[in-house]
Structure 1
Amino acid sequence: MIDTLSRLRLTGRAFLFVIAALFSLQSIALQPTPAQLEQFKGLPAAEQARLAKQFGVDIPNVNAAQTPVVAQTNSVMPVAQQQVAESVGGEINTNTEMEEGKLPAFGYDLFAGQPTTFAPITDVPVSSDYVLGPGDSLKVNLYGKESQFFELVVDQEGQVYIPDLGPMSLAGLDFSEAKEKIKKTIDQKMIGVKASVSMGSLRSIRVFVLGEARVPGSYVISSLSTMTNALVLSGGVSELGSLRNIQLKRKGKLVQSLDVYDLLLKGDTSVDAQLKSGDVVFIPAVGPQVAIKGQIKRPAYYELKGSGSVSDLLSYSGGMLASAYPQGATLERVNEQNEREFLNLDLSLNADINRTLKNG
């Protein structure tokens, strides 16, 4: 009797070892040996049922396939184990792009779309410093001694023809200057008549969007269009193009540079320059890029402008989540020997958060 109980304890411990191996933290699918299976089968039916219920083993599968099938269970891996898994190549992250092994490139969807044909802008107020050119029109209402309405179109020579008064040169003048010139002329030559002048239809201009645009080419746009309007019309910037240094060139000279990150992150449109006929919007190749993922608000690839730091990258990504552990950050890069290396960072320290980043 004592020998039987001892044998039961030993065989029970052997089976416990098998089950424990199957339920290890690393979820390694260890297969029990035939001898261990035989020990399990040698136990009384009641003992087998008790152990099977305790560890989630399907007894019929044990007898039929010689391999115990462990029931699937849901478990939560501790944060420390997540960090270990990530350090050896795991992709444990709640972000969908992370789980798929992908990160989006920040900012490229702003202008993305199908290239479109020119659509005139008719509902945008014209500023007083709008420069008139061939194709623009002015609406003139006369009132007082006599009432008249006519529309003046600037011809190819930059002139308009006012009935009963003859031609008047307006090209190159601001809208406010042209309006005052028309009013003054009518007031001097038509006694008892006053004039009200407003902007009519606007001319079209042809510009070029070149470089790393999705559909580079020549586009006809409204004379009120800006650099960003031209980017939208061309389908946006390809992921080979830079968002930090979009250039406006006029007669071969650089007129303005546009950093789309200022628009996306700060809402700053101060450098979104208005275009003129013949202008070129040039998109150079993308500059140095870095990626950030983990417990931050906006995991993605970001383009650096010149040299950038870890602090800059955190600013681009919207900052860390409340669940982040700044003292456990990791910087991954390829060193001068073309070897991949991992550096531990403590982002609560100035030296680490201000560390200069490199391409890739």
Structure 2
Amino acid sequence: MVIGQAGPVDPSTYVLGPGDVLQLELWGRLTRTVLFEVSPDGKVFLPGAGAIEVAGKSLAWAQQRTSSMIAESFRGVQADLRMVRLRTFRVYVAGLVGRQGAIDVTPVTRASEAVTAAGLATGAARRTIEVRRRSGARLRLDLDSFDLAGRQDLDPVLEDGDVLVVPRGVEFASLRGAFKNPRTFDLAPGDSLSTLLRLAGGLLPSASRDRALFVRFTSPTVRESLWLTVRAIESGAANPTLRDGDALFAFFVAGYHDVALVEIFGEVLRPGTYPIALGKDRLSDLIQWTGGFRAMANRASINLVRASEGVGQDVEFDRLLRLSRSEMTESENAAFRTRLAEHKNVFRVDYDQLAKTKQVDPMLRAGDVVRVEPLFLTVRVDGEVKHPGLAEYSPTRKWQDYIDLAGGFTDRAAIGAVRVSRAGTGQVVKVGSAKTIQPGDFMWVPERHDLDSWG
């Protein structure tokens, strides 16, 4: 398999050699198409014009030379020479790669492409790969400099017979913290702090510009630390040559672009997510930002849900919390009520009370979720009544009136044990101690237990 060509060939830089296939187009007083291959001795033969030696010459030179020779040989004839197929040759990859051996390449293949095709093995160096030429020249392939900084001068174009040797990485330095690309790099000859800073892409905008910590090992187990100013690092004034084990730590600006957010849902005019100022904004402020309550809002039943640190997230509870009552099914509403009652960090707030004094107006925290419940203009009566169900709420009705609307007690009713579950607070109290019945309340009439005279 030959590594494919990446993009068009540049005639000014492409050097011709044996095996390249060219096409000559003639037009004018003579029309003809000629396909020919550069011969092993580096020549091509132009019909009617003779041989021309092109090996080692650029494609642009060959195009210009061909046009002038055709013009001299044929009056009124123009010529165009173009590349049809690139020649292929073999290079060899050795060392810590997944597939050692020969790879077929073209004259535009770079060393990084051949190494990528062979696959780097675990522990292989990325920045000290050697390209050995037949001429005896030694070139360096630096994958990180090419991949991260675009250094094509450290990714040579391959030549016929090149051998690429991938060594094991043995010396390393690292950049940690507020860098665009924090990582550990294997060291190459001549590396300095500025070299790794370029490979890391520089510092993040959120990096603290005050100082950074440079750590160096003076022996295998002993290290020393040096505080450097970030400006000196970026300007190159602080630019030590790196050794194995060196590390630079850059730090973040605390709270950089952080925005504390809360959410509010339910019976308000503009539900959604709002930014808050910590230590300043309160629940009443949030209600005002939403434009106030909708007509059916239960001002006495505002649930403030506060995130618990170190407690796993209840995904289903969070989903239901963001739904309005009309968007829930009956089973979802029942599940939500159960979870709401069990949640330890849920606080019920009466808006009319907090509007009177800031003493009961909670300060908001990041991550708070507020839910304003709807006002139910019904009272539910269930248990040992003849017609369990919902009764229309009226502020003038007493608890006995709702029992009557439900058809009265059954013969099995424990009349003295009637309970009321408050819609606003979730409290369960004896009906006799409830001064009034509120909209949304749930009245429960339990069954009377018979005494066994033989017991």
TM-score of the alignment, normalized to the shorter chain, above 0.5:
yes
Whether 1:347 aligns to 2:228 is yes
1:346, CA displacement in angstroms? 2.8
Q: Say if 1:320 and 1:288 are closer, same or farther in 2 by CA, change over 3 A.
A: farther
Correspondent of 1:190 among 74, 84, 88: 74
| d(CA) in 2 for partners of 1:326, 1:148 | 72
Whether 1:151 aligns to 2:32 is no
Higher relative contact order (CA 8 A, sep 6+): 1
Q: Say if 1:328 and 1:197 are closer, same or farther in 2 by CA, change over 3 A.
A: closer
| d(CA) in 2 for partners of 1:172, 1:308 | 35
Residues 78-133 of structure 1: CA deviation (Å, up to 9, x unaligned): xxxxxxxxxxxxxxxxxxxxxxxxxxxxxxxxxxxxxxx31442851332242211
Contact 1:214 1:234 in 2 (8 A): yes
Contact 1:240 1:286 in 2 (8 A): yes
1:296, CA displacement in angstroms? 4.8
Correspondent of 1:301 among 184, 198, 221: 184
| d(CA) in 1 for partners of 2:85, 2:166 | 31
- Residue 228 of structure 1 is matched in structure 2 by 112
Q: Identity of aligned pairs, percent?
A: 26
- Residue 216 of structure 1 is matched in structure 2 by 100
| d(CA) in 2 for partners of 1:185, 1:323 | 64
* Paired residues for 1:254-265 under 5 Å: 254-265=137-148
Whether 1:175 aligns to 2:59 is yes
Residues 47-100 of structure 1: CA deviation (Å, up to 9, x unaligned): xxxxxxxxxxxxxxxxxxxxxxxxxxxxxxxxxxxxxxxxxxxxxxxxxxxxxx
Residues 281-323 of structure 1: CA deviation (Å, up to 9, x unaligned): 2233324213344555544222223465666655544436747
Correspondent of 1:272 among 155, 160, 177: 155
| d(CA) in 1 for partners of 2:177, 2:7 | 45
Whether 1:202 aligns to 2:86 is yes
- Residue 78 of structure 1 is matched in structure 2 by none
Larger radius of gyration: 2
* Paired residues for 1:52-91 under 5 Å: none
- Residue 271 of structure 2 is matched in structure 1 by none
Correspondent of 2:134 among 240, 244, 251: 251
Residues 314-339 of structure 1: CA deviation (Å, up to 9, x unaligned): 55444367476976858474x54x5x
Q: Say if 1:262 and 1:191 are closer, same or farther in 2 by CA, change over 3 A.
A: same
Residues 32-61 of structure 1: CA deviation (Å, up to 9, x unaligned): xxxxxxxxxxxxxxxxxxxxxxxxxxxxxx
- Residue 136 of structure 1 is matched in structure 2 by 20
| d(CA) in 2 for partners of 1:238, 1:141 | 48
| d(CA) in 2 for partners of 1:242, 1:278 | 22
1:197 partner amino acid: L
| d(CA) in 1 for partners of 2:50, 2:207 | 75
Contact 1:126 1:199 in 2 (8 A): no
Contact 2:23 2:36 in 1 (8 A): yes
Unaligned runs of 5+ in 2: 246-455
1:204, CA displacement in angstroms? 0.7
Q: TM-score, normalised by structure 2?
A: 0.45
Residues 156-208 of structure 1: CA deviation (Å, up to 9, x unaligned): 23232334555443333322232233223322222332212222211111111
Residues 202-234 of structure 1: CA deviation (Å, up to 9, x unaligned): 111111122233322210012211222222222
Q: Say if 1:144 and 1:283 are closer, same or farther in 2 by CA, change over 3 A.
A: same
| d(CA) in 1 for partners of 2:215, 2:89 | 49
Q: Say if 1:321 and 1:222 are closer, same or farther in 2 by CA, change over 3 A.
A: same
Secondary structure of residue in 1 paired with 2:137: strand
Q: Say if 1:122 and 1:282 are closer, same or farther in 2 by CA, change over 3 A.
A: closer
Correspondent of 1:127 among 11, 23, 31: 11
Q: TM-score, normalised by structure 1?
A: 0.55
Q: Say if 1:289 and 1:165 are closer, same or farther in 2 by CA, change over 3 A.
A: same
Equivalent pairs counted in the alignment come to 240
Which of the two has greater strand per residue?
Answer: 2
| d(CA) in 2 for partners of 1:123, 1:348 | 44
Which of the two has greater helix per residue?
Answer: 1
1:278, CA displacement in angstroms? 0.8
2:63 partner amino acid: K
* Paired residues for 1:40-51 under 5 Å: none
Contact 1:138 1:197 in 2 (8 A): yes
1:173 partner amino acid: K
- Residue 165 of structure 2 is matched in structure 1 by 282
Unaligned runs of 5+ in 1: 1-116
Contact 1:287 1:305 in 2 (8 A): no
1:281 partner amino acid: L
